């Protein structure tokens, strides 16, 4: 959905291919094909060959490797770095990379003690990240991950403001984008991004951007790299890296600066990468919501991904823009809500008005904004 959204905003014709014939992104495309490229390679290759560019939006490593092989034999640009994605998706490999180039990262278990963060080794697993405070909690979560066919990755739970930044590489050089503040739900899934063009003037954000460029250059990334970190007393500690288009941050960057990730990726592939001046300077809040009957819940990507038939609406409920399956009278619907302002205070005011409008028009009596439980058990 994020890639289709960005492509539409760039003015491109959008074709979505998905093996699921009810894939939400189908309603944001000009053309949709229900197809598994691994089972229909000839048809998929024909579609790929006729495209201006292709952006994989999947965690299926078998498919990604096959696409990497196919695109070496056709002229269509593949706006994706399969090698970088494989390295970033593996907690072991990415941690080894960070340690090798001296990037500050959380301490590992058991040296870190409690509270500790437990997550699947595969960063694109459906199992959520958890914070544990006792050995019993750790064993329970670890067993759940193993039963799901994965291994666990355990490290220090680092407090502080979470930030995320994006850099785009062409294999030799990198182009930094704006950073944003990140909020997660009680399952540590991304629920909200605040993006302000002035954030890069903060010492920790500037350091995060520098570290992100160092990581991208060490990996020789050809494409985007999203780096998540924690701000602690003007310092940045790296928490995670991802080499695919992640939810909300590209949308927040677009509304905050006019900087469209897909346009820059295209330019980086067909000519030398170069800095892009912001077209606008706005504070932006981008967040997922779930409305069920009389309850509004700010939710993470996993819940939002269950959206059905999303459309783009400008100004709905007083927002700047909403990507949603809302219809009048519908009791359950989901949305990515975007609000902007001249500064973050202005954006927050407009966001509050938008939420008030949703509450009023949809008969909401309960608002939930879950946060992770981080504490120490006796």
Residue 193 contacts by C-beta under 8 Å, 6 or more apart in sequence?
A: 164, 180, 181, 182, 183, 248, 249, 252, 284, 285, 286, 287
Determine the Cα–Cα distance for residues 107 and 325; give it in Å rounded to an integer. 42
Whether 376 has a pLDDT exceeding 50, the answer reads no
pLDDT of residue 378: 33
Of 326, 302, 203, the residue nearest 247 (C-alpha): 302
CB atoms within 10 A of CB 233: 7
**3-state DSSP assignment of residue 320:** coil
How many CA atoms are closer than 13 Å to the CA of 8, on its beta-carbon side?
18
| pLDDT, tens digit, 9 for 90 and up, residues 36-81 | 999 999 999 999 999 999 999 888 889 999 999 999 999 999 999 9
Tell me the pLDDT of the chain averaged across its residues.
90
CB atoms within 10 A of CB 208: 27
Whether 374 has a pLDDT exceeding 80, the answer reads no
| pLDDT, tens digit, 9 for 90 and up, residues 215-253 | 999 999 988 999 999 998 888 999 999 998 888 999 999
Determine the Cα–Cα distance for residues 225 and 215; give it in Å rounded to an integer. 9
Domains of the chain, start order: 2-78 (3.40.50.720), 86-90+160-270 (3.30.470.20), 107-156 (no CATH), 285-368 (no CATH)
Q: The pTM is what?
A: 0.91
| pLDDT, tens digit, 9 for 90 and up, residues 164-200 | 999 988 888 888 888 999 999 988 899 999 999 888 8
- According to DSSP, the residues that pair with 322 across neighbouring strands are 313, 337
Determine the Cα–Cα distance for residues 232 and 160; give it in Å rounded to an integer. 5
pLDDT of residue 159: 84
Q: What is the DSSP string of 45-84?
A: HHHHHTSS-B------HHHHHHHHHHHTTSSS-B---HHH
Interstrand relation of 366-368 and 283-292 (parallel, antiparallel or unpaired):
unpaired
């Amino acid at each position: 959905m994020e890639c289709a959204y960005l492509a539409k905003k760039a003015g491109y014709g959008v074709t979505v291919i998905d093996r699921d014939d009810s894939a939400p992104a189908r309603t944001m495309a000009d053309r949709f094909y229900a197809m598994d490229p691994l089972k229909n390679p000839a048809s998929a290759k024909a579609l790929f060959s006729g495209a201006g560019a292709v952006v994989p939006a999947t965690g299926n490593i078998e498919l990604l490797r096959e696409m990497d092989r196919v695109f070496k034999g056709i002229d269509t640009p593949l706006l994706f770095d399969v090698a970088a994605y494989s390295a970033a998706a593996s907690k072991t490999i990415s941690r080894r990379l960070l340690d090798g180039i001296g990037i500050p990262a959380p301490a590992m278990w058991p040296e870190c003690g409690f509270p500790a963060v437990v997550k699947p080794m595969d960063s694109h697993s459906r199992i959520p990240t958890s914070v544990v405070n006792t050995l019993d909690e750790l064993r329970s979560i670890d067993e759940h991950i193993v039963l799901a066919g994965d291994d666990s990755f355990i490290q220090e739970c680092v407090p502080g403001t979470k930030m995320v930044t994006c850099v785009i590489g062409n294999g030799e050089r990198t182009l930094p984008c704006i950073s944003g503040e990140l909020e997660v739900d009680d399952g540590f899934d991304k629920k909200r991004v605040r993006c302000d063009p002035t954030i890069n003037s903060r010492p920790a954000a500037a350091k995060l951007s520098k570290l992100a460029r160092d990581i991208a250059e060490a990996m020789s990334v050809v494409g985007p790299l999203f780096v998540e970190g924690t701000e602690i007393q003007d310092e940045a500690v790296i928490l995670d890296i991802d080499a695919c288009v992640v939810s909300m941050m590209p949308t927040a960057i677009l509304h905050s600066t006019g900087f469209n990730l897909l346009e820059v990726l295209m330019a980086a592939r067909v000519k030398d990468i170069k800095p892009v001046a912001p077209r606008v300077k706005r504070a932006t809040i981008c967040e997922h919501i779930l409305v069920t009957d009389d309850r509004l819940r700010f939710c993470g990507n996993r819940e939002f991904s269950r959206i059905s038939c999303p459309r783009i609406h400008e100004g709905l409920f007083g927002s700047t823009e909403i990507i949603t399956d809302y219809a009048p009278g519908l009791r359950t619907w989901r949305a990515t809500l975007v609000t902007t302002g001249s500064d973050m205070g202005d954006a927050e005011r407009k966001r509050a008005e938008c939420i008030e409008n949703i509450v009023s028009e949809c008969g909401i009596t309960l608002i939930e904004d879950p946060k992770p439980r981080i504490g120490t058990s006796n």
